[in-house]
């Protein structure tokens, strides 16, 4: 045999032999010589080897041409050793491109994506067909750094190599919206009617209203408000600023509410001095009449309870305006007409 020694040691009367060779031996040569000079030997020479058992027969034919003897040689070629290759042949992400460009010997990569990207897919292929790759596929992304490990295990089951991909997801751009979605006061109603783009409002209240509550809601949830809540009122104009700071911490918008608290009047005689008459007072038939030389059609008439709550708004309709107050409970009320205030009583 060209490689190794057969087992058992050759003996003319022993016809079966074995031989083991390493995986690196891919062929073997068999040589044999007949005991009789006139006998013939067949099937010697070079033979290819597959992994595992390879059985070859050597046939000897005697001089008489009839008598034969067959010898067998079983050559076992070892399997190749398990690979220790734990490298990748490719590594990709979607969306995006790795930095640096992939190389089998580079194990750490980075990638930056915008805030709108909430997940990423990682694909990898092992360099050796029998190696295994773990932890690829789809992954969710948090804002900031997200590190993923791709583990490659070689064919030998022991050798490993870890590749890392760090994906940096950007933070959401802070909003610059510093508008309000609503602005209300209590008691009373703003003028003009609220609009997010209108920043200046007015309101007139009787002297009996000594404080007012301001409430507001931002258009963007991340914005902040200052200047709301309960506010004490002085007589005359009270300007209150409501400042909205956008989520970005820089953009601001200021809304103002100017509340005019009427001066303290003594009663009906003050309205009479302004040539405005409210009668009958007390009201007993459910109808209040407003009459005045200087009143203008469309001028606002407001009625407040003694506690300052607005209970009705009306408009001057002519020389005499009749207001139905039958629905109001008996008691004392404040009537404002323009800048004038007066007290009335309602009896039922």
CATH number at residue 213: 2.60.40
Q: pLDDT confidence of 262, banded at 50, 70, 90?
A: confident
pLDDT at 268 over 50: no
Tokens of 173: 């751009």
Same domain? For 276 and 240 the reply is: no
The residue from 169, 190, 223 where one domain ends is 169
Angle, CA of 235, 239 and 242, to the nearest 5°:
140
* Percent over 70 (pLDDT), the chain: 96
Q: pLDDT confidence of 265, banded at 50, 70, 90?
A: low
Residues 76, 18: Cα–Cα separation, whole Å: 8
pLDDT at 84 over 50: yes
Q: pLDDT confidence of 267, banded at 50, 70, 90?
A: very low
Distances (CA, A) of 217 to 20, 178, 281: 88, 11, 42
Residue 1 belongs to a domain: no
Q: For 288-345, what is each residue's pLDDT tens digit?
A: 999 987 888 999 999 988 877 889 999 999 889 999 999 999 999 999 887 788 889 9
Give the 3-state secondary structure of residue 136: coil
What does R_g of the chain's alpha carbons equal in angstroms?
A: 52
- Min mean pLDDT across 188-197, 243-252, 264-273 is at 264-273
> What was the pLDDT predicted at 145?
95
What would the mean pLDDT of 65-76 be, rounded to a whole number?
96
Same domain? For 191 and 144 the reply is: no
The residue that leads in pLDDT, 278 or 294, is 278
> What was the pLDDT predicted at 188?
87
The residues, any chain, with a CB within 8 Å of residue 190's CB and separated by 6 or more, are 183, 184, 201, 202, 203, 257
What would the mean pLDDT of 189-216 be, rounded to a whole number?
92
Same domain? For 156 and 208 the reply is: no
Domain that holds residue 287: 268-346
Residue 316 belongs to a domain: yes
Same domain? For 189 and 251 the reply is: yes
Tokens of 191: 């003028």
Q: For 106-128, what is each residue's pLDDT tens digit?
A: 999 999 999 989 999 999 999 99
Residue 175 belongs to a domain: no
Q: pLDDT confidence of 174, banded at 50, 70, 90?
A: confident
Residue 8 belongs to a domain: no
pLDDT at 269 over 50: no
Same domain? For 34 and 66 the reply is: yes
Same domain? For 70 and 99 the reply is: no
Residues 50, 27: Cα–Cα separation, whole Å: 8
pLDDT at 204 over 50: yes
Tokens of 265: 């009047």
The residue that leads in pLDDT, 238 or 172, is 238
> What was the pLDDT predicted at 271?
45
Residues 137, 78: Cα–Cα separation, whole Å: 38
Angle, CA of 126, 129 and 130, to the nearest 5°:
100
> What was the pLDDT predicted at 270?
43
Residues 111, 89: Cα–Cα separation, whole Å: 19
The residue that leads in pLDDT, 164 or 284, is 164
> What was the pLDDT predicted at 119?
96
Same domain? For 257 and 273 the reply is: no
Q: For 127-137, what is each residue's pLDDT tens digit?
A: 999 999 999 99
Residue 36 belongs to a domain: yes
> What was the pLDDT predicted at 342?
86
First to last CA, the chain: 134
Sheet strand arrangement including 211-218: 180-186, 211-218, 229-232
Residue 2 belongs to a domain: no
Same domain? For 56 and 119 the reply is: no
Residue 251 belongs to a domain: yes
Say how many domains are in the chain: 4
The residue from 243, 261, 279 where one domain ends is 261
> What was the pLDDT predicted at 263?
79
pLDDT at 266 over 60: no
Cis preceding linkage at 27, omega within 30: no
Same domain? For 188 and 255 the reply is: yes
Residue 280 belongs to a domain: yes
* Contact assessment for residue 96 and residue 118, using Cβ atoms and an 8 Å cutoff: no
Q: Phi-psi region for residue 233, left (φ > 0), alpha (ψ -120 to 50) or beta?
A: beta
* Contact assessment for residue 212 and residue 186, using Cβ atoms and an 8 Å cutoff: yes
> What was the pLDDT predicted at 207?
84
Number of H helices, E strands in the chain: 1, 27
pLDDT at 240 over 80: yes
What would the mean pLDDT of 9-18 be, rounded to a whole number?
95
Same domain? For 255 and 275 the reply is: no
Which has the closest alpha carbon to 345: 272, 291, 268?
268
pLDDT at 165 over 60: yes
Q: What is the pTM of this model?
A: 0.44
The residues, any chain, with a CB within 8 Å of residue 106's CB and separated by 6 or more, are 100
* Percent over 90 (pLDDT), the chain: 76
- Min mean pLDDT across 9-18, 138-147, 332-341 is at 332-341
Query: What CATH number is attached to the domain comprising 297?
Result: 2.60.40.3080
The residue from 114, 148, 169 where one domain ends is 169
Strands 200-205 vs 132-134: parallel, antiparallel or unpaired: unpaired
One DSSP character per residue, 265-299 reads --SHHHHHHTTEEEESSSB-SSEEEEEETT--TT-
What would the mean pLDDT of 128-155 be, rounded to a whole number?
96
Q: In whole numbers, what is the pLDDT of the chain averaged over residues? A: 91
């Amino acid at each position: 045999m060209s490689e190794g020694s057969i087992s058992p040691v050759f003996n003319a009367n022993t016809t079966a032999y074995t031989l083991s060779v390493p995986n690196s031996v891919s062929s073997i040569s068999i040589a044999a010589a007949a005991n009789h000079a006139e006998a013939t030997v067949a099937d010697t020479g070079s033979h290819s080897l597959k992994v595992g058992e390879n059985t070859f027969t050597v046939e000897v034919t005697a001089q008489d041409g009839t008598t034969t003897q067959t010898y067998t040689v079983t050559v076992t070629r070892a399997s190749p050793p398990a690979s220790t290759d734990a490298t990748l042949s490719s590594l990709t992400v979607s969306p995006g491109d790795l930095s640096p460009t992939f190389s089998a010997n580079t194990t750490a990569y980075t990638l930056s994506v915008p805030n709108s990207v909430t997940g990423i897919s990682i694909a990898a292929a092992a360099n050796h067909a029998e190696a295994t790759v773990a932890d690829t596929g789809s992954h969710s992304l948090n804002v900031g750094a997200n590190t993923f490990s791709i583990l490659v295990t070689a064919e030998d089951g022991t050798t490993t190599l870890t590749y890392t991909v760090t994906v940096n997801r950007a933070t959401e751009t802070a909003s610059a919206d510093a508008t309000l979605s609503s602005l209300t006061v209590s008691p009373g109603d703003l003028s003009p009617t609220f609009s997010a783009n209108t920043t200046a409002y007015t309101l007139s209240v009787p002297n009996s209203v000594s404080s007012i509550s301001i409430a507001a809601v931002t258009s963007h949830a991340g914005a902040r408000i200052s200047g709301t809540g309960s506010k004490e009122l002085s007589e005359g104009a009270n300007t209150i600023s409501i400042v909205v700071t956008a989520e970005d911490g820089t953009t601001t918008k200021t809304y103002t509410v100017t509340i005019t608290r009427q001066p303290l009047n003594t009663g009906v005689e003050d309205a009479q001095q302004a040539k405005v008459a409210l009668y009958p007072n007390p009201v007993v038939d459910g109808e209040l009449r407003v009459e005045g030389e200087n009143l203008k059609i469309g001028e606002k008439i407001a009625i407040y309870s003694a506690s300052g709550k607005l209970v009705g708004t009306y408009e001057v309709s002519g020389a005499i305006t009749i207001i139905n107050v039958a629905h109001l409970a008996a008691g004392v009320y404040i009537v404002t007409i323009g800048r004038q205030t007066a007290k009335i009583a309602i009896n039922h």
